[in-house]
Amino acid sequence: MADINRKIVLAERPDGMPTLECFRLEEEPGAAPADGEAVVAIEHLSIDAFIRTTLEADSYHGSVPIGGTVSALGVGRVVESRAPGLEVGQAVFAPLGAETRAVLPGGMLQPIDDSEVPATARLGVLGMTTGLTAWFGIHSVGAVKAGETVVVSAAAGAVGSVAGQLAKIAGARVIGLAGGPAKVAYLTDELGLDAGIDYKGEDVPARLRELAPDGIDVYFDNVGGELLDDVLDQIRERARIVICGAISQYQNMNAVRGPSLYLRLAERHARMEGFAVTHFVEEFPKADAELTALVAAGRLSLKEHVLDGIERSPEALLTLFGGGHTGKLLVKI
Ligand SMILES: NC(=O)c1ccc[n+]([C@@H]2O[C@H](COP(=O)([O-])OP(=O)(O)OC[C@H]3O[C@@H](n4cnc5c(N)ncnc54)[C@H](OP(=O)(O)O)[C@@H]3O)[C@@H](O)[C@H]2O)c1
């Protein structure tokens, strides 16, 4: 079986929210590595929102052709190597794809040390699209300071869970927005945030007024849409709006709804700044060292929600958008 590759391919482009019919499981004989390449047995895939954007014909993150393997970052282990410096048994992180066995040039495989922390941490709390994203959003873009009031959206998800904890560690008062009372309880009881708002069941503007009567200094936004306007309306002078993502908009990238209250930025001398984590690649070692130290000290953690089997990757992507998980969503191969 080791030589068979099982992969999820794009059967048809979604129109709006993808359905399971947009994907197909295929099997093929495992390709042999060329000179400079290695074969990786994939162990876990990171389920990230950007995967949805790659299903479009045109995408910032690159487009998957019809019949092509769906994109995904992942971790796995080298099982065969013709790449100098990569030994069999080495754990690696890479854009491996939604498959069980990947053949990639050695230069694309980042060796990881899984002796102290499990390899899945390299997708989650220490991962580029989760922990590092939260770190740069909170510190480099949001410049969160002690005593400030910070609001985080999708706060019970992967990036949001880490962002909220990092803002607390920086000494801020943190309010998380999440869908449903169970997630709100998770924010306060497990992540230690000061308060949570159930955006599905509560009046968000009223609750923000109650919880942040002096206004909001930093908004770490993962969601966009209406919630962005709700927060913009209540920002303080010199507020920073961090555009990390806009998951409410990814099903219709050609008609993204922008904020209608953006003039609050002018009225309150505030700024809105977006970023992609890859803009900070030179600073990854610094952020990684800080995150690693926080995890080792027991001050930062991230729950994992794991679906078992490559065939469940399409379901996992739908789970991500439906919010059927808490913390980091992974597929175990
Ligand atoms: N800038 C970067 O470089 C970068 C890198 C990685 C990720 N991101 C962005 O970070 C954000 C979070 O990604 P993640 O991987 O950590 O996912 P996640 O937060 O683990 O999962 C997404 C969450 O979004 C919430 N959600 C879905 N639709 C929503 C809607 N219409 N309104 C409000 N909330 C909604 C759901 O939680 P509820 O149950 O609470 O609704 C869901 O759990 C995404 O926007 C992603 O694009 C940015």
Quick one: pLDDT at residue 315?
A: 98
Quick one: pLDDT at residue 201?
A: 98
Give the integer Cα–Cα distance in Å for 216 and 175. 10
List for the chain the helix, strand, coil content (%; round to 5). Answer: 35, 25, 40
Give the integer Cα–Cα distance in Å for 201 and 317. 24
In a domain, 52, yes or no: yes
Quick one: pLDDT at residue 116?
A: 87
CB atoms within 10 A of CB 180: 15
* pLDDT tens-digit map of 98-124: 999 999 999 999 999 999 899 999 999
Give the integer Cα–Cα distance in Å for 38 and 226. 46
Same domain, 113 and 134: no
Of 144, 135, 140, whose CA–CA distance to 217 is shortest? 144
Same domain, 47 and 139: no
Quick one: pLDDT at residue 325?
A: 97
* pLDDT tens-digit map of 225-266: 999 999 999 999 999 999 999 999 999 998 999 999 999 999
In ligand 1, the atom with minimum distance to the C-alpha of 156 is: 40
**Would the pLDDT of 71 be above 90?**
yes
Same domain, 119 and 88: yes
Same domain, 181 and 317: no
In a domain, 285, yes or no: no
Same domain, 112 and 146: no
Q: How many folded domains does the chain comprise? A: 2
In a domain, 293, yes or no: no
For 216, the enclosing helix (H) or strand (E) is strand 216-221
Same domain, 31 and 74: yes
Report the range of poorest mean pLDDT among 51-60, 184-193, 283-292: 51-60
In a domain, 219, yes or no: yes
- Name the residue with the closest Cα to ligand 1, atom 8: 245
Give the integer Cα–Cα distance in Å for 147 and 160. 19
In a domain, 10, yes or no: yes
| Residue 85 CB contacts under 8 Å (≥ 6 apart), including other chains | 106
- Ligand 1 in reach of 161 Cβ (< 6 A): no
Give the integer Cα–Cα distance in Å for 48 and 41. 20
Same domain, 140 and 230: yes
Give the integer Cα–Cα distance in Å for 313 and 332. 9
In a domain, 13, yes or no: yes
More confident residue, 257 or 3: 257
In a domain, 310, yes or no: yes
- Ligand 1 in reach of 183 Cβ (< 6 A): yes
Q: Domain residues for 89?
A: 4-123+302-332
CATH number, domain with residue 27: 3.90.180.10
Same domain, 111 and 41: yes
* Token duo for residue 218: 């930093």
Same domain, 76 and 141: no
Q: What is the DSSP letter of 91?
A: E
* Token duo for residue 26: 């295929």
* pLDDT tens-digit map of 23-39: 999 999 999 999 999 99
Best mutation site among 50, 159, 197, 325 for ligand 1 pocket (most ligand atoms within 8 Å of CB): 159
CATH number, domain with residue 270: 3.40.50.720
- Ligand 1 in reach of 46 Cβ (< 6 A): no
Same domain, 176 and 273: yes
Mean pLDDT of the chain: 97
- Binned at pLDDT 50, 70 and 90, residue 220 comes out as very high
Position 124, amino acid: G
CB atoms within 10 A of CB 124: 25
Same domain, 133 and 262: yes
- Name the residue with the closest Cα to ligand 1, atom 39: 323
Mean pLDDT calculated for residue range 47-76: 96
- Ligand 1 in reach of 178 Cβ (< 6 A): yes
Quick one: pLDDT at residue 2?
A: 55
| Percent of the chain whose pLDDT exceeds 70 | 99
- Name the residue with the closest Cα to ligand 1, atom 45: 245
Quick one: pLDDT at residue 25?
A: 98
In a domain, 297, yes or no: no
**Burial of 225 (C-beta count, 10 Å sphere; 0-12/13-18/19+):** middle
Quick one: pLDDT at residue 3?
A: 85
Of 303, 300, 235, 246, whose CA–CA distance to 271 is shortest? 235
Give the integer Cα–Cα distance in Å for 275 and 90. 32
Same domain, 319 and 239: no
Quick one: pLDDT at residue 1?
A: 46
- Strands 216-221 and 149-152, by their bridges, are parallel
Rounded (5°) CA angle 232-227-243 = 70
* pLDDT tens-digit map of 137-190: 999 999 999 999 999 999 999 999 999 999 999 999 999 999 999 999 999 999
